A and B are shown apart, each in its own frame.
Chain A
């Protein structure tokens, strides 16, 4: 079941003005594929993920449509959304250290998913044990009776993943799964996700600014900037043949490719540039770029939002 996002627009009302976090995004996340959402902080990638699950705070205005198969999610009631969350689309939240309830043992937090799916107490406990072992915990008994603050960041990350897969959802949205973890643990996260993908037959949306993880793990990559999609392509094409100047800049900033930083900063949300949002930082700037906002143009197997390809 694909997730289809049509003309999605998300705005936050804040004291310093309205923030347009997601700006008319059209995207299809294909079933059985791993889609990576990449972009720098504030590009709207986390907001996009939370919007799909209907988990935004109350100061957000959402327009547009999100389809899960035939069902449209934005118009669903909170009650119907609760039935979809966890069971059809699950979330691996960012910040593993703070994303588990500090005053509840982790066993109970995993069991809760089974209980919500209607299983009995004994079955839930048994399945939690199995799940923890599958997640690579050799001493599942001890882990179940630990509080989150007694576990390491990498362990909490695996617990979060366990919570996400527990109810066998079709989709998992992983929000910055490698953020704040060291290289060894990042590799563990990668291995865990590969295992999850294989054993649970789940489709994934991985939100990350870890480009190397995206390249290793994702089939398709979406590049976001200031709430807009700038480029969509297969992971291979994005890294071997980046088309958009922003994507080119991102790839060139990778450590093993010379670590050349991109000049400038992304524009403030309350003061967006006219024309192409990227034009103030673009090395190929043209007169059109300042005035006309480019459309998403199909180029070979992907598409790119840049006047140079029109």
Chain B
């Protein structure tokens, strides 16, 4: 138990420099890409041409003329207090805007995660149980097919079928809840297929290991062997893959959110990028970076739970 705790603490401790790195990156991104936020803000109305003095005055007011590390310090002290600054565009606080849009993205992400986990695990296990039989062959071909269709094509295809022809589901928006079904499928299906195939091959890899022979010699049937012994050892690659995908979902899926007009983090970032709204972009990068690191941390902990050799590894 002690070793386990130490492993978890080490992992959390190691995440701290990465998180600091992300704040530097998020801030630096704004600096590097900076056209001129002051100019951008003054030219929101395309008919108005500001004078040089006006631009300079606004730059000073926004603190853009201060040394970089002072700007970073000001920004980071705000971040720590939960203040990501105001949008250059409309002066709305970035954090509260993101928090307002977050529930939609969270809902979509978690629905997709559930779908990937359920379909991926179930699919992978079934493909192994029916290995080389019709189900396995058809499943593998079908999964390759779904994986090779880009998400947005799948999205438009589903809109055509389920919304236009069958009139079962709404084309866009967030109300009613069924509106989330198609975006969730568009987002998750290909990853679910990938997880199923990944899991299939890792279970098959485990089935030829020496310990599987011992287990079979005990008199276990194949399905018992898969569930009691090989599944757990085979899960690590799939867990890591799912964590990567889920981390991406949390940052909002710009394409899917746009197609289905879901106001989420992704569309927020897309608008911010189009308008060169650097505070918003910084906030977005910071948020997705943190979300990604935390999800990866969680997946590391799950893997260490699945494989005790990872957390007790000193004695190997």
Contacts and interface: CB of A to CB of B under 8 A. Distances in A.
A78 interface: yes
A116 B221 CA distance: 11
B309 A79 contact: no
A99 B233 contact: no
Contacts of A82: 219-221
A231 to B, nearest CB: 28
B5 interface: no
A149 B218 contact: no
B316 A104 contact: no
A113 B221 contact: no
Contacts, number: 83
A53 B208 CA distance: 16
A84 interface: yes
A97 B21 CA distance: 42
Interface string B195-220: 00000000000001111011111111
B224 to A, nearest CB: 9
Contact of A83 (B217, B219, B228, B229): B219
Interface in A249-300: none
Given A57-B208, A147-B309, A149-B315, A99 B219 contact: no
B176 interface: no
Contact of B213 (A93, A103, A164): A93
A83 to B, nearest CB: 7
A150 B218 contact: no
Given A149-B316, A150-B312, A103 B217 contact: no
Contacts of B210: 93-95, 98-99
A61 to B, nearest CB: 16
Contact of B218 (A78, A86, A94, A102): A86
Contact of B214 (A57, A78, A91, A116): A91
A189 interface: no
Contacts of B241: none
A286 to B, nearest CB: 42
A98 B217 contact: no
B208 A103 contact: no
A47 B218 CA distance: 18
A53 B308 CA distance: 31
B209 A85 contact: no
Contact of A101 (B208, B217, B233): B233
Contacts of A104: 229, 232
Interface in A21-73: 50, 53, 55, 57
Interface string B220-264: 111000001100110000000000000000000000000000000
Given A103-B232, A149-B315, A149-B316, A113 B211 contact: no
A160 B221 CA distance: 19
A178 to B, nearest CB: 16
A245 B308 CA distance: 51
B306 interface: yes
A210 interface: no
B213 A101 contact: no
Q: Which size bracket describes the interface of B in this complex?
A: 20 to 34
A5 interface: no
A133 B254 CA distance: 62
B213 A55 contact: yes
A103 B309 contact: yes
A90 interface: yes
A266 B144 CA distance: 45
Interface in B62-82: none
Contact of B307 (A93, A99, A102): A102
Contact of A147 (B214, B220, B308): B308
A79 B221 contact: yes
Contacts of A91: 213-214, 217
A85 B220 CA distance: 8
B218 A103 contact: no
A64 to B, nearest CB: 21
A86 B211 contact: no
B308 A160 contact: no
B220 A116 contact: yes
Contacts of B213: 50, 55, 91, 93, 99
Contacts of B312: 147, 149-150
Contacts of A98: 209-211
B24 to A, nearest CB: 38
Interface in B170-197: none
Contacts of A222: none
A93 B214 contact: yes
Contacts of A224: none
A109 B218 CA distance: 10
Contacts of B307: 102-103
B214 A86 contact: no
Nearest 4 A-B pairs (CB), nearest first? A91-B217, A86-B219, A85-B219, A98-B210
Given A83-B219, A98-B211, A102-B308, 5 more contacts: A90-B218, A91-B214, A112-B218, A116-B220, A147-B308
